[in-house]
Amino acid sequence: MVAPFLRILSQRRRAIALLPEAPTRAELEQIVRAAAGRAASEDTSSWRLIATTRAQAPQLAAALSGLRSLPDVGDGSAPLKGKQLRRLAAFRGSLAFAMRGGMALALVFRPAEDAQLSRKRQRMEALAAHTVLEAALCGVGWGVQWAPRESPDQEVLHDFYGLQEREEILGWLFIGRVPAAEAREAAAGPEPQTPLEFLD
């Protein structure tokens, strides 16, 4: 069991491009359960995931831009000015961010007040979860891009996801199939380097 797991980790890499395909809900739940592992009885997970599909990307982009609804660009007969133009530019940039792959998983940090670990330590463990999730998804053939991003209005983003007051979005895992050419290049690529040193 150790060798296949190490092989999966060694082959893990950030996908350069993602096709607009996504795992089924049942497949995704199985992958996430495996990545979460078995916690000790007294432990509570410091993270959770919220999934949105590619079809929901415009709504996510609006929330990332601090907008509570999709921007109104009119019928094109009148030029946009000032605030309208800035909002549209922000939305277009966020839309390019949100349209990757077939699904976006928001990694949400949810600190437990009664946990033995400090909030800082809990946050570090929650952030580290994206690496395990990425390896698990890559291990079953999905391409992944991890992407943190700040929103100009966190309240709008929190409302979009229905987050609790103490929760925080750490970033997004975008999932999709990897183009065949990129998959072949990755398989034929060089062995990963070993960033390891020993002191004599």
Domain boundaries, the chain: 13-36+43-69+81-186
Of residues 136, 137, 117, 149, the one with CA closest to residue 45: 117
Of residues 90, 94, 106, 93, the one with CA closest to residue 47: 106
**DSSP secondary structure code for residue 56 in this structure:** G
Alpha-carbon 5 to chain mean position: 22
Give per-residue pLDDT as tens, 59-96.
999 999 999 988 875 545 445 455 667 778 888 999 99
Q: What percent of the chain has pLDDT over 90?
A: 48
Grade residue 6 by pLDDT with cuts at 50, 70 and 90.
low
> What is the value of pTM for the model shown?
0.83
CA distances, 140 to each of 31, 62, 91, 137 (Å) = 9, 32, 33, 6
Cα dihedral 155, 147, 7, 24 sign: positive
Grade residue 45 by pLDDT with cuts at 50, 70 and 90.
confident
Of residues 59, 85, 84, the one with CA closest to residue 156: 59
**DSSP secondary structure code for residue 177 in this structure:** B
Q: What percent of the chain has pLDDT over 70?
A: 80
User: Looking at the domain 13-36+43-69+81-186, which fold is it?
Assistant: NADH Oxidase (3.40.109)
Q: How far apart are CA 186 and CA 178, in angstroms?
A: 10
